[in-house]
Amino acid sequence: MFREHGPYVHRLLRRLGVHPSDVDDAFQEVFIVIHRKRAEFEHRSSVRSWVYGICVHVASRYRRLRNLAREVAEEEASEPVDPTTPIESATVKEAREVLSAILDQLDGDKRAVFVLYELEELSMQEVAQSLECPVQTAYSRLRAAREAVDAAVRRYRAQREFK
Amino acid sequence: MSREPIRVVDLTDGASSEQQFIGEVIRAERMGLPSAAKMDELAARLGPIVRPKGGGLFGTSGRWLVATALAGAFVVAIFAVRSSGTTDVAPAASRAAPPSEIHEVVTPPPNAVAVPPAPVEPAISVEQLPSAAAPSRPRAPALAASAASACAGEIDLVERADAALRANDPAGALAMTRAHIARCPDGAFAQECERIAVEALTRLGRTAEASARANAFERRYPSSPYVRRIRNLVQQGSSESTR
């Protein structure tokens, strides 16, 4: 489980908006939850969607804690991406920062469905299982999330042009 | 499945400039997986609740297995001496826990004197597991029982204690852990609560109390993934106080 899903869980937690300095702790928590809840897993969904559902819950909790504590220190803020860098030649780190800047503009539900479908490439059925919602709800959230991402991209590019 | 929307990274004709942009970003970000060294570090943090699929006995996690097996054998030996003539043995921990590919180190039951060093479980890949439409089973009684025995507001209390700690209010965090213990003495988040309490005491400079509490934690939860973190906290607190 750890070898197979661990690296993806780590990346998913980042994609879901867990602050970089919290990702290791959140990762640990995910595997503690898996360890504790393994007996409750009933094979009604794939292991992957079950694990990713746990990630969504844990990420949501960490985002909430971060907001409560309000301790996003300046020194922890990520380095700004050079606005002249063409996105096609961006490094992984730069791309991650651009993606974060865009996804940070989405609410938790839209972000989760967008990340699980577009980035993690789960099927819509698996997305719905991870989010514990009907498939139709997942579809409508994805539609809304795509619109929100388009708007966020427009805002991001407009900001780049002003720099 | 074929009716699912085309993902933005797969859009070619007719993609808007926003979709092209986000598609490029997603493609560039895809390789952002943690390194093998990072995964080893994370595995070490988790300690005994993970182990390599192939049973690599002397890998990072394998050392935990050996240590746990030896510790278990030691406990068994003591228990056997103390309880000779008695029959109140409760080896409930040896029950198999599905799914089997979640690797777990279980402390050997008291009657298992000969502890084999880390038996290799048959590894089942995700693909081999049944997918969504498996026959439904009756809800496990343990689940209902755990839900019934859940302490109301426990998660909220632990989260607030954690938030207080992060907001640099160790005294407030400590007070909340006291409230947690009073309200939920057998709560499901007792380990998290103790971890917060030890960190709060360390930050308050109460290192002797932190150390005593850490020792008690380790005795009570010897295989907890928090053991390592709590040890580090106490060590850091002790070295800072001697400066």
Q: Exposed, middle or buried by CB within 10 Å (0-12, 13-18, 19+), for B129?
A: middle
Q: Which of A8, A43, A122 to mutate to test the interface with B (most CBs of B within 10 A)?
A: A43
Q: Does B159 touch chain A (CB under 8 A)?
A: yes
Q: Does B137 touch chain A (CB under 8 A)?
A: yes
Q: Which ipTM was obtained for this model?
A: 0.84
For A85, A131, B6, B132, the CA distances from B3, given in Å and listed in that order, are 36, 20, 9, 19
Give B177-233 pLDDT, tens digit per residue. Answer: 998 888 888 776 788 889 899 999 999 999 999 999 999 998 888 766 567 778 878
Residue at token pair 């932190």:
B210
Q: Does B126 touch chain A (CB under 8 A)?
A: yes
Q: Using an 8 Å CB-CB cutoff, list chain A residues near B29.
A: 92, 95-96, 99, 119
Evaluate if residue B53 carries a pLDDT over 60.
Answer: no
Largest separation between any pair of C-alpha atoms in chain B: 80
Which residue does chain B place closest to A22, by CA atoms?
A: B166
Name the minimum distance, in Å, from the CA of A162 to any CA of chain B.
18
Evaluate if residue B95 carries a pLDDT over 70.
Answer: no
Distance CA A86, CA A90 (A): 6
Are A42 and B25 within 8 A, CB to CB?
Answer: no
**pLDDT, position B220:** 86
Q: Does B172 touch chain A (CB under 8 A)?
A: no
Which residue does chain B place closest to A61, by CA atoms?
A: B159
Are A150 and B101 within 8 A, CB to CB?
Answer: no
Q: Using an 8 Å CB-CB cutoff, list chain B residues near A43.
A: 99, 129-130, 134
The answer to whether A159 and A145 have CB atoms below 8 angstroms apart is: no
Q: Does B128 touch chain A (CB under 8 A)?
A: no
pTM for the structure as a whole: 0.54
Per-residue pLDDT band for B71 (boundaries 50, 70, 90) equals very low
Name the minimum distance, in Å, from the CA of B83 to any CA of chain A.
30
Contacts of B142 (CB under 8 A, 6+ apart): A39
Q: What count of other Cβ atoms lies within 10 Å of the Cβ of residue A38?
A: 17
**pLDDT, position B86:** 37
The answer to whether B23 and B9 have CB atoms below 8 angstroms apart is: yes
Distance CA A137, CA A60 (A): 19
Average of per-residue pLDDT values in chain B: 65
First and final C-alpha spacing in chain B: 63
Are B159 and A4 within 8 A, CB to CB?
Answer: no
Evaluate if residue B173 carries a pLDDT over 60.
Answer: yes
Which residue does chain A place closest to B225, by CA atoms?
A: A32
Which residue does chain A place closest to B164, by CA atoms?
A: A69
Q: Does B7 touch chain A (CB under 8 A)?
A: yes
Q: Which of residues 211-230 of B touch A (CB under 8 A)?
A: 225
At A155, phi and psi to the nearest 5? -65, -45
For the ranges A95-109, B19-33, B39-53, the maximum mean pLDDT occurs at A95-109
Q: Which residues of chain A have pLDDT under 70?
A: 69-90, 162-163
**pLDDT, position B107:** 37
Give A88-110 pLDDT, tens digit per residue. Answer: 556 778 888 899 999 999 999 99
Task: Read off the pLDDT of each residue in B65-88 and give the average, rounded to a whole number.
Answer: 42
What type of residue is B19? Q
Distance CA A112, CA A17 (A): 9
